[in-house]
Amino acid sequence: MLPFTLQQLRILKAVAKEKNFTKAAEVLYLSQPSLSKQIKTLEKNLDTLLIHREKNKISLTENGKVFLQYSERILALCEESCRALIDLKNGDRGNLTVGASQTIGTYLMPKVLALFAQNYPQIDLKVQVNYTRLIVNNVLNREIDIAVVGGEIPDELKKNLTIKNFVEDELKLIISKSHPFAKKKKINKENLYYLNFITLNSNSTIRKFIDNILIQNGIETKNLKVVMQFNSIEAIKIAVNLGLGAAFVSSSAIEKEIELKTIEILKIENIRITRTLSIISTTESYKSKAFELFYNELSILKNTIEN
């Protein structure tokens, strides 16, 4: 006999998320005393303390954190097994959760998702957009079936992932139409020191990637003049349009601006900043019919972009 039930795992997961017994009970449609009893039974059966209880605050112990990781994987695998049976029974019907890192999820994926939803309305499609590392962790926990990310994937996580190159994404240097450099079209590396830069915050994966490429090309990034930092690409584009500075932005994020000719793109002599977007999924998870259909849509998009 196992020392736990699936319901107890669901309860532990809810408590960890809500950090409150009463809220967790409400989410699971249980009474608070019943939920507390289940937690005590679980701790007794495992012979270990899973939750710290201090006044009105609760938190997981180290044992609780470790057990939660396995609980999430067990629950995700149970859900996956149900999806596999549904696929076998209903053919193309099923559920699919798609993930994307932030820039991709905002500018590139909506086209694919809209077309997929139109072509396969019988598939229940859910989407998560977040930082690359969080998306990768959710893929590993089987909370996401397939994802497209642009950030660097930690080496220690790669061994449990299937990673396929998707497309190249170029990060272009944009300025306003009224900028003094607007007529130049191409600048040399030294010109970068005369620009006012608008960037994402210093913890941004894209910001770090751009800085690394510039450093590799002999540019002292600490001497570049950063006048503004934002948490969104849209805010950066607005600031550039207002003539407040220059910015490196993903080509997928400026398609509308290029079409409307509201910005200018500056090329840097002998420097081109590109990154490879990746399609990721877990190595051992069941690949549903819905997964295969969505992967095919991504392949079609890849061919369209490359050709």
pLDDT digits (tens, 9 = 90+) for 108-133: 889 889 888 888 888 888 999 998 88
pLDDT at 92: 60
Alpha-carbon separation of residue 303 from 166, 257, 307 (angstroms): 10, 24, 6
Whether 127 and 100 have beta carbons less than 8 Å apart is answered as: yes
pLDDT at 91: 56
Q: Which amino acid is it at 153? A: I
What does the buried/exposed string (b/e) look like for 268-286 if buried means 16 or more CB atoms within 10 Å of the residue's CB?
A: beebebebebbbbbbeebe
Query: Residue 208, Cβ neighbours under 10 Å: how many?
Result: 14
pLDDT confidence of residue 4: 94
Residues of the chain with pLDDT under 70: 87-93, 307
Q: What is the pLDDT of residues 169-179, one digit of tens each?
A: 999 999 999 99
> Is 36 within 8 Å of 22 (Cβ atoms)?
no
| Domains, the chain, ordered by start | 6-72 (1.10.10.10), 89-167+276-306 (3.40.190.10), 169-274 (3.40.190.10)
| Token representation of residue 30 | 């249980």
